[in-house]
């Protein structure tokens, strides 16, 4: 069956985002067919264009050339780029005109920044009443902490997810930029819901998004559990409150680990057979889920005695064949090498004019009727001509004049 | 009353535990009409908890209650032909089917994607599986622990570890399930919106392993192309970042020069801070460890909330590691009305986590609490599908619903 168009064709997004969370939300819309115009103040470009993710091996540089940052290229695919000096009145006016030609405006500047630039919702809605404006900030646009600064790990800490991540006898821990990408995904969802609402009613709206709250939504069961029983959910390492075995086991080799989880007695029987100790399934210490949970440490030791002598990938194959949930704890090399991810084309080849060939991570979904074609992130100002001439209908003289004044790069 | 953004979208949720149900909840709380199908003994999340002090009870599991708000629920025996017939009639009614079972679960009763598509050409079929519907591991089992490691995130945890011999860990809670449901929601909605362009529904396929991989996209490519280290044990001794206070932990993100200058001021301008060398990030990178013990010592005597406010007011990015109890009394969450009260006939009235998006024209809300087991059997069969009441009674007695 030949594939048809992308679902968001005809939707235009003015993208005032930078770093990770905001740009990823608009990238999701772009890959689904929306025309996303990324607007950067050319005195303050998206810092990921030239930044490198910490920590670096010495003596690598902490900066690469503009356009070459890998985080930039990972979260800005399929977009167009324009540069405007937003500190100048004329720059802000042009930004306003782009917004007025758009269906959606997204920003993740500090709360209140769009308003200060004269680009707040109240101004923009006068130009286009059915506009959807999404502002994502750290704590939200109002409340006593509206102007507090934050980024991914801070949101994860405040939102309550970090507190429950870690070993019970050690400190809580944050993961990192994944939190931004999660928030970007939630933002895209809210924008799509607003688009659906507009399609039905003709009504636009303002959406105020808090990235800390985005984290809390994903531990909602733990919060409700606390509300119901007064017990604060604590860190559990790899353990589950009921299932056992449920752990990560050392394998043969250097820093190689196997994740294994058993959810029923039937599965435990299968495991006991694979590790050559079928008698464990009848052993009163391990025969029921409750007993296994009770004697979990002892059971983990028995399993690890088996795993530490063996090859990780062979064990995963045998355990999977026996119908068990088992997986390697994959590092980046393992991910790129995973034959399953390879067979599913989970990575995409990108040809970048300055960097060359890159293999980047693709989208976390597949559609049967729409072909998602991933294209490289734009160079800084790459689409100035298209946007100013074709979209805003400025004459070449006007564009030259703006360039001379430094409004456009 | 305001209208929900997704009023009018009809969803059948054939899903259990976290991923599929959370996707259904996201749609339902914004107005979609979501009918959840459970087996006769209920969604397993009803048996998982956490539970109130009174003990396990299928109507009092916090996991089930939270992930199933705003839905109607029916029970259905899909091993019976009559149960399959009801399922098919719901498919014809629906815009969206959310399914997080292995594909063979529906295929073995004849409901392949092709069959579903023929039955209802406009149907968006969202299929969430551990490893996707194709590829050598398509049939492999996977869940919370195995997927977070298979997708590459687990291997980086616990961050700032000092012991590479200690096993990598998972994220707390049901992170994979939630991320799976969250990722499924926008693409499902896009497919519904796009029906006017594509001319039909589609099969939307979500692999949970790829959901986690997608979250690691920057780390993965940076490790490969910029030779950034990938390990839970950092290459350099870590300074700042996570610090221990008198009552817990706090993230102090004094990354930029002016943040660090403000931090020195917050500490009361210790003597070492007078040197202008601290205004250079390159200098800090290699010398922060020299003053780290003093910073640690100073903040160990501070309370996390108090120092969070004082530091944030000076422009330093900071965030306390909040527990559920901390969140419950957080002034910012309270001021924004993040938590919402939900009354449930069996579980009582409690505060639930709300939504990070405040929408001016079509706000999310809990339309109704999570359904009791089989609560809407009669309503759905008779009112939605048009079964006569006598037929419904017969099906109920026969153990179909």
Over residues A260-280, the mean pLDDT reads 98
Residues A177, B219: C-beta atoms closer than 8 Å: yes
Query: Which residues on chain A are in Cβ contact (under 8 Å) with B149?
Result: 248, 257, 259, 327-330
* Global model pTM greater than 0.95: yes
What is the pLDDT at residue A63? 75
What is the pLDDT at residue A216? 98
pLDDT single digits (tens) A101-148 = 999 999 999 889 999 999 999 999 999 999 999 999 999 999 999 999
**CATH code for B241-328?**
3.30.1540.10
Residue A4 has pLDDT above 80, yes or no: no
When the pLDDT of each residue in chain B is averaged and rounded to a whole number, the result is 96
Residue B286 exposure: Cα atoms within 13 Å on the Cβ side: 7
pLDDT single digits (tens) A383-401 = 999 999 999 999 999 999 9
Residues comprising chain A, all counted: 409
Q: B187: how many CB neighbours lie within 10 A of its CB? A: 29
pLDDT single digits (tens) B277-317 = 999 888 888 888 899 999 999 999 999 999 999 999 999 99
Q: How far is B195 from chain A (nearest CA, A)?
A: 7
pLDDT single digits (tens) B8-38 = 999 999 999 999 999 999 999 999 999 999 9
What is the pLDDT at residue A1? 40
What is the pLDDT at residue B8? 96
Residues A196, B142: C-beta atoms closer than 8 Å: no
Q: How far is B255 from chain A (nearest CA, A)?
A: 11
Main-chain phi, psi angles of A286, to 5 degrees: -130, 0
Q: A229: how many CB neighbours lie within 10 A of its CB? A: 18
pLDDT level of residue A54 (50, 70, 90 thresholds): low
Domain range annotation of chain B: 10-217+355-397, 241-328
Q: Which SS3 state, helix, strand or coil, does residue B17 take?
A: coil
What architecture is domain B10-217+355-397? 3-Layer(aba) Sandwich (3.40)
Q: Please tell me chain B's helix, strand, coil percentages from 3-state DSSP, rounded to the nearest 5.
A: 40, 15, 45
Main-chain phi, psi angles of B124, to 5 degrees: -95, 120
Over residues B234-245, the mean pLDDT reads 86
When the pLDDT of each residue in chain A is averaged and rounded to a whole number, the result is 95
* The token pair that represents B123 in the structure block: 């149907």
Q: Which residues contact A98 (CB under 8 A, 6 or more apart)?
A: A14, A37, A39, A82, A387, A391, A392
Q: How far is CA B320 from the centre of its chain?
A: 21
Q: How far is B86 from chain A (nearest CA, A)?
A: 26
**Active site members of A:** 180
Q: Which of A99-103, A291-295, A402-406 has the lowest mean pLDDT?
A: A402-406
Query: Which residues on chain B are in Cβ contact (under 8 Å) with A203?
Result: 361-362
Question: Which ipTM was obtained for this model?
Answer: 0.98
Residues A370, B202: C-beta atoms closer than 8 Å: yes
Query: Which residues on chain B are in Cβ contact (under 8 Å) with A376?
Result: none
With beta carbons less than 8 A apart as the criterion, state whether A367 and B187 touch. Answer: yes
Which of these, B291, B293, B318, lies nearest to B303 by C-alpha position?
B318
Main-chain phi, psi angles of A23, to 5 degrees: -55, -35
Over residues A291-313, the mean pLDDT reads 98
DSSP conformation class of B153: S
Over residues A236-248, the mean pLDDT reads 97
Residue A351 has pLDDT above 70, yes or no: yes
With beta carbons less than 8 A apart as the criterion, state whether B44 and B341 touch. Answer: no
pLDDT level of residue A42 (50, 70, 90 thresholds): confident
Measured CA to CA in angstroms, residue A278 lies from A301, A310, A319 at distances of 16, 18, 14
Residues B217, A250: C-beta atoms closer than 8 Å: no
Q: Which SS3 state, helix, strand or coil, does residue A370 take?
A: strand
Over residues B55-67, the mean pLDDT reads 98
Residue A55 has pLDDT above 80, yes or no: no
Residue B229 has pLDDT above 90, yes or no: no
Residue A2 has pLDDT above 60, yes or no: no
Residues comprising chain B, all counted: 401
Residues B327, A259: C-beta atoms closer than 8 Å: no
With beta carbons less than 8 A apart as the criterion, state whether A21 and A181 touch. Answer: yes
What is the pLDDT at residue B224? 92
Domains of chain A: 12-218+368-404 (3.40.50.10540), 246-337 (3.30.1540.10)
Q: Does B289 touch chain A (CB under 8 A)?
A: no
In chain A, what is the greatest distance between 2 CA atoms, to the nearest angstrom? 86
Q: Which of A218-222, A274-278, B158-162 has the lowest mean pLDDT?
A: B158-162
Q: Give the burial string for A138-173 (b: 16+ CB within 10 Å, else e).
A: bbbbebebbbbbbbbbbbbbbbbbbbbbbbeebbbb
Interface test with B, best of A122, A139, A221 (most B CBs within 10 A): A221
pLDDT single digits (tens) A64-90 = 889 999 999 999 999 999 999 999 999
Q: Does B56 touch chain A (CB under 8 A)?
A: no
pLDDT level of residue A44 (50, 70, 90 thresholds): confident
Residue A52 has pLDDT above 80, yes or no: no
With beta carbons less than 8 A apart as the criterion, state whether A186 and A210 touch. Answer: no
Query: Which residues on chain A are in Cβ contact (under 8 Å) with B190?
Result: 7-8, 32, 192
DSSP conformation class of A348: E
Counting residues of chain A whose pLDDT is more than 90, the rounded percentage is 90
Query: Which residues on chain A are in Cβ contact (under 8 Å) with B320?
Result: 157-158
Q: How far is A353 from chain B (nearest CA, A)?
A: 16
Sign for the CA dihedral angle at B104, B107, B108, B109 comes to positive
Q: How far is CA A108 from the centre of its chain?
A: 14
What is the pLDDT at residue A64? 82
Q: In this complex, which of B199, B285, B327 lies closest to A160 when CB atoms are compared?
A: B327
Q: Does B312 touch chain A (CB under 8 A)?
A: yes
Over residues B206-222, the mean pLDDT reads 96
């Amino acid at each position: 069956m030949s594939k048809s168009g992308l679902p968001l064709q005809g939707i235009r997004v003015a993208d005032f985002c930078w770093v990770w969370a905001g740009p990823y939300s608009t990238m999701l819309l772009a890959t689904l067919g929306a025309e996303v115009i990324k607007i950067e103040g050319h005195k303050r470009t998206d810092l990921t264009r030239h930044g490198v993710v910490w920590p670096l091996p010495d003596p690598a540089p902490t900066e690469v050339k503009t356009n070459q940052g890998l985080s930039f290229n990972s979260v800005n695919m399929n977009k167009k780029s324009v540069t405007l000096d937003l500190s100048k009145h004329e720059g802000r006016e042009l930004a306003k005109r782009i917004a007025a030609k758009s269906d959606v405006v997204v920003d993740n500047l500090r709360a209140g920044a769009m308003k200060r630039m004269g680009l707040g919702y109240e101004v923009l809605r006068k130009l286009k009443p059915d506009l959807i404006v999404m502002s994502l900030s750290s704590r939200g646009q109002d409340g006593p902490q509206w102007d507090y600064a934050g980024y991914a790990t801070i949101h994860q800490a405040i939102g309550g997810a970090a507190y429950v991540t870690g070993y019970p006898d050690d400190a809580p821990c944050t993961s990192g930029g994944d939190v931004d990408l999660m928030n970007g995904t939630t933002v895209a969802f809210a924008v799509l819901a607003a688009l659906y609402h507009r399609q039905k009613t003709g009504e636009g709206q303002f959406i105020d998004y808090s990235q800390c709250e985005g984290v809390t939504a994903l531990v909602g069961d733990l919060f409700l559990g606390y509300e119901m029983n007064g017990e604060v959910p604590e860190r559990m390492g790899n353990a589950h409150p009921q299932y056992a075995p449920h752990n990560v086991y050392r394998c043969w080799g250097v820093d190689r680990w196997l994740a294994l989880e058993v959810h029923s007695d039937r599965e435990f029987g299968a495991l006991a057979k694979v590790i050559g100790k079928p008698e464990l399934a009848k052993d009163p210490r391990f025969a029921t889920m409750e007993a296994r949970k009770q004697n979990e440490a002892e059971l983990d030791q028995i399993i690890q005695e088996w795993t530490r002598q063996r090859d990780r990938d062979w064990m995963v194959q045998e355990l999977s064949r026996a119908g068990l949930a088992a997986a390697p704890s994959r590092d980046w090399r393992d991910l790129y090498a995973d034959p399953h991810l390879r067979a599913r084309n989970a990575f995409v080849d990108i040809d970048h004019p300055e960097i060359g060939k890159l293999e980047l991570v693709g989208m976390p979904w597949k559609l049967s009727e729409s072909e998602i074609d991933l294209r490289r992130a734009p160079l800084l100002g790459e689409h100035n001509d298209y946007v100013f001439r074709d979209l805003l209908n400025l004459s070449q003289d006007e564009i030259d004049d703006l360039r001379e004044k430094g409004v456009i790069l | 009353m305001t209208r929900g953004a997704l009023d009018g979208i009809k969803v059948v949720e054939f899903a259990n535990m976290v991923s599929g149900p959370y996707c259904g909840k996201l749609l339902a709380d914004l107005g979609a009409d979501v009918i959840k199908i459970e087996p006769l003994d209920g969604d397993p999340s009803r048996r998982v908890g956490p539970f109130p002090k009174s003990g396990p009870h299928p109507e009092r599991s916090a996991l089930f209650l939270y992930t199933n708000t705003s839905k109607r629920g029916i029970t259905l025996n899909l091993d019976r032909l009559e149960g399959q017939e009801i399922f098919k009639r719901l498919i014809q009614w629906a815009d969206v089917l959310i399914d997080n079972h292995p594909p063979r679960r529906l295929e073995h009763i004849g409901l392949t994607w092709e069959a579903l598509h023929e039955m209802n050409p406009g149907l968006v079929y969202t299929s969430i599986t551990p490893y996707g519907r194709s590829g050598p591991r398509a049939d492999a089992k996977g869940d919370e622990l195995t997927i977070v490691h298979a997708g590459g995130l687990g291997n980086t945890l616990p961050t700032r570890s000092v012991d590479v011999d200690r096993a990598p860990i998972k994220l707390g809670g049901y992170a994979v399930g939630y991320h799976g449901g969250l990722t499924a929601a926008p693409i499902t909605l896009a497919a519904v919106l796009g029906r006017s362009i594509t001319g039909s529904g589609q099969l939307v396929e979500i692999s949970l392993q790829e959901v986690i991989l997608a979250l690691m996209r920057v780390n993965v490519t940076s490790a490969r192309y910029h030779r950034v280290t990938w390990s839970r044990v950092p290459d350099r001794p870590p300074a700042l970042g996570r610090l221990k206070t008198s009552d817990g932990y706090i993230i102090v993100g004094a990354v930029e020069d002016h943040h660090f200058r403000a931090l020195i001021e917050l500490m009361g301008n210790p003597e070492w801070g007078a040197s202008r060398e601290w205004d250079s990030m390159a200098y800090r990178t290699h010398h922060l460890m020299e003053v780290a013990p003093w910073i640690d010592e100073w903040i160990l005597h501070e309370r996390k909330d108090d120092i969070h406010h004082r530091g944030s007011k000076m422009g330093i990015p900071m965030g306390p590691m909040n527990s559920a109890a901390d969140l419950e009394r957080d002034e910012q969450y309270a001021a924004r009305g993040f938590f919402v009260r939900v009354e449930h006939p069996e579980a009582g009235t409690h505060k639930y986590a709300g939504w990070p998006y405040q929408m001016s024209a079509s706000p999310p809300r809990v339309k109704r609490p999570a359904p009791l087991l089989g609560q809407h059997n009669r309503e759905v069969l008779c009112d939605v599908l048009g079964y006569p009441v006598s037929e419904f009674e017969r099906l109920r007695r026969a153990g179909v619903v």
